[in-house]
Amino acid sequence: CSGNVEMEIDNLYKAVPQLHKVFNVIDKIGEGTFSAVYLGEAKMLDGGRERFALKRLIPTSHPARIAAELQCLTIAGGRENVMGATYCFRREGEVVIVMPYMEHQPIGEIIGLLSFEEVRLYIYNLLKALKHIHQFGIIHRDIKFNNFLYNRRAKMYSLVDFGLAQGTADTQIELLKVVKQRATQKAGGATGKTDTGVPGKKAPRASDTPTPLTTTGPPSPPQPQQQSAAPPSSSSSSTTATVTPTTATSSPLPRTSTVSPALTCHCFQTERVCNICMSRKKQVAPRAGTPGFRAPEVLTCCPTQGTAIDVWSAGVILLSLLSNRYPFFKGSEDLVSLTQIMIVRGSRETVQAAQTFGKAVVCSRELPRQDLRLLCERLRGRRPAPDGDEARLGEGKEDQEEGPRPSGVAAAPPGAEGVRAEEEEERGWDRVPGEAYGLLDRLLDLNPATRITAAEALLHPLFTDLH
């Protein structure tokens, strides 16, 4: 490993010296906002060696948050495609969670090689993990490729990272009752993981700046610090966002780059916040998670969010796999993500669904709902794309990092088209059953109340032979 990583490993040994007795830390395997993960080899009593993943949490993580993550792993983990915890080291504020090491391939490296059957099994196994954690009343809140480890060769899957998890009202994870109650006291920032889930504890390296899409609650005494809050809609507790494609194109789809969000309220236009707007209380709702995977109810700061948000993220994953675009939604900020969702799922449908959970979304131009099969086949290169507008979908960046381009996006060398078509057929992409798009449609139901659950999805006709 590189010099930098060696220094980090030295630093890890210094922070938690007891690691030395058991582990030989070999390399760094991952880094997120709140942790770094290392590969460690344990010297076993029988002389053998076993590999483990060592997750070092940043010392500023709140103890309740850390304990809740650990409790999810120990109580729900270790089965049903959910990662378990083997041990945990602590020295003062330093915590290292030890988990079985699972070799895996980053999805960006293999997405273009996957067969339809592999995709079907991948999504089945993800739904299995979701059904399991949802039975425990755990909402993961950060379902994405990087948190669902996949070993293609061994056909192994594992859901990791309960660092943002929250509990449902009847959660069986006692410590999630603590973080849940606290997490909703603070709204997150604009991008990435933003919520420590603990009161008075700000997420490090995260922005607390309210996004243009701000929620409003019932009137309360004027609060000057809310000046940057968005103006309210006509309904008293709703979010108003007007999505305005600035350039009219003849294409059925606007280029995402020309779709810019704007807010409608006279005070927004005059750049002054009126008294009514000023008097509105900001509606707080958890918004943690990764842009691009957030459900519409998360993007609009709906205060009641449940396990359905994880199912939406699983839908984004399936959309990405079926279209060979990684990641699918660029989603640098919430309004852009919402616009991209409207491009695929329709603006009228989004507005209607948002109404059901008490949010008023306004879109100044009608964006028709896409046929999911046509969309995926076009993006996969199986059908000609209209003016390349849709091609802009799927050029996003998971975790705001430069992700590898899916092979479908990279320009094909001359003469490669025939070869690609042949390979696609070998991998079953010429005979994707309608059920795959049927399931996708149910996972990406804009209305969380009618969205399919993970348990129901496992019984979907797409998986008949796997029941």
Given Mg ion, ligand ADP, none, residue 38, with its beta carbon under 5 to 8 Å by kind, binds: none
Binding mask 139-158 for ligand ADP (x = CB under 6 A): -------xx-x---------
The residue (of 101 and 122) whose beta carbon lies closer to ligand ADP is: 101
CA 42 vs. chain centroid, Å, equals 33
Binding mask 23-42 for ligand ADP (x = CB under 6 A): ------xx-x-xx-x-----
Report, in Å, the least distance between residue 65 CB and ligand ADP.
11
Report, in Å, the least distance between residue 51 CB and ligand ADP.
9
The residue (of 32 and 40) whose beta carbon lies closer to Mg ion is: 32
Report, in Å, the least distance between residue 45 CB and Mg ion.
32
Q: From CA 173, how far away is CA 134, in angstroms rounded?
A: 11
Q: With binding defined as CB under 6 A, does residue 161 bind ligand ADP? A: yes
List the structure tokens of 360: 């008023």
The residue at minimum Cβ distance from Mg ion is 161
The residue (of 105 and 279) whose beta carbon lies closer to ligand ADP is: 105
List the structure tokens of 13: 């040994």
Report, in Å, the least distance between residue 34 CB and ligand ADP.
5
Q: From CA 26, how far away is CA 282, in angstroms rounded?
A: 48
The residue (of 161 and 424) whose beta carbon lies closer to Mg ion is: 161
Write the secondary structure of the chain as one string of H (helix), E (strand) and C (coil): CCHHHHHHHHHHHHHCCCHHHHEEEEEEEEECCCEEEEEEEEECCCCCEEEEEEEEECCCCCHHHHHHHHHHHHHCCCECCECCCCEEEEECCEEEEEEECCCCCCHHHHHHHCCHHHHHHHHHHHHHHHHHHHHCCEECCCCCHHHEEEECCCCEEEECCCCCCEECCCCCCHHHHHHHHHHCCCCCCCCCCCCCCCCCCCCCCCCCCCCCCCCEEEECCCCHHHCCCCCCCCCCCCCCCEEEECCCCCCCCCCHHHEEEECCCHHHHCCCCCHHHHCEEECCCCCCCCCCCCCHHHHCCCCCCCCHHHHHHHHHHHHHHHHCCCCCCCCCCHHHHHHHHHHHHCHHHHHHHHHHCCCCCEECCCCCCCCHHHHHHHHCCCCCCCCCCHHHCCCCCHHHCCCCCCCCCCCCCCCHHHHHHHHHHHCCCCCCCHHHHHHHHHHCCCCCCCCCCHHHHHCCHHHHHHC
Q: With binding defined as CB under 5 A, does residue 147 bind Mg ion? A: yes
Report, in Å, the least distance between residue 6 CB and ligand ADP.
18
**Choice from 26, 102, 113, 262 touching ligand ADP (CB under 6 A):** 102
Report, in Å, the least distance between residue 163 CB and Mg ion.
7
Residues 6+ apart with CB under 8 A from 36: 8, 28, 30, 55, 56
Query: Which residues in 372-401 contact ligand ADP (CB under 6 A)?
Result: none
Q: Tokens 């504890």 sit at which residue?
A: 201
Number of residues this chain uses to bind ligand ADP (CB under 6 A): 18
**Choice from 42, 55, 316, 329 touching ligand ADP (CB under 6 A):** 55
The residue (of 55 and 180) whose beta carbon lies closer to ligand ADP is: 55
The residue (of 34 and 357) whose beta carbon lies closer to ligand ADP is: 34
Measured in residues, the chain has a length of 467
Binding mask 32-71 for Mg ion (x = CB under 5 A): x---------------------------------------
142 carries an active-site annotation: yes
Stretch that binds ligand ADP, among 94-102, 125-133, 295-303, 315-323 (CB under 6 A): 94-102
**Choice from 40, 77, 112, 163 touching ligand ADP (CB under 6 A):** 163
Given Mg ion, ligand ADP, none, residue 37, with its beta carbon under 5 to 8 Å by kind, binds: ligand ADP
Report, in Å, the least distance between residue 233 CB and ligand ADP.
35
The residue at minimum Cβ distance from ligand ADP is 32
**Choice from 9, 12, 25, 53 touching ligand ADP (CB under 6 A):** 53
Q: With binding defined as CB under 6 A, does residue 160 bind ligand ADP? A: yes
Given Mg ion, ligand ADP, none, residue 29, with its beta carbon under 5 to 8 Å by kind, binds: ligand ADP
69 within 8 A of 114, measured Cβ to Cβ: no
Beta bridge partners, 49, equal 43
Largest CA distance in the chain: 75
The helix-helix angle for 63-75 and 174-183 (nearest 10°) equals 140
**Choice from 8, 161, 334, 377 touching Mg ion (CB under 5 A):** 161
Stretch that binds ligand ADP, among 95-103, 239-247, 422-430, 432-440 (CB under 6 A): 95-103
| Given the residues 10, 46, 142, 399, the one annotated as active site | 142
Q: Point out which residues bind ligand ADP (CB under 6 A).
A: 29-30, 32, 34-35, 37, 53, 55, 83, 99, 101-102, 146-147, 149, 160-161, 163
Q: Point out which residues bind Mg ion (CB under 5 A).
A: 32, 147, 161
> So which residues are the catalytic ones?
142
